[in-house]
Amino acid sequence: MIPTTMIGTGDNVLISPDLTGLAKWTEGTVIEVENNTFNGIVIAAETKDRNVFFGRKDLFKTTNTQEVCLH
């Protein structure tokens, strides 16, 4: 089995300090996932205090992990 980290709408994520400008990774919930022609996968996530951050997929870490069998 291979662990996957697919990110989708409604998933809980950590948002990079490079995006938020804060000292630590910030928790948020994905509100949109877009396949952008120029930037690849772009994610928009909302924090508990209602701030919305969006950026490339590599600026987010999923807190949900799931194992998938590829047989």
pLDDT by residue (tens digit) across 53-65?
999 999 999 886 5
pLDDT by residue (tens digit) across 23-61?
999 999 999 999 999 999 999 999 999 999 999 999 999
Name, in order, each residue with C-beta under 8 angstroms of 1's C-beta and a sequence gap of 6 or more. 67, 68, 69, 70
pLDDT at 68: 57
Q: Out of 2.30.30.190, 2.20.25.90, 3.40.630.30, 2.30.30.30, select the CATH number for domain 2-68.
A: 2.30.30.30
CA distance 2 to 25: 25
Q: Average pLDDT of 9-15?
A: 95
Domain locations along the chain:
2-68
pLDDT at 67: 56
- DSSP-derived letter for residue 19 is H
H helix or E strand, kind and range, residue 55: strand 52-56
pLDDT at 14: 96
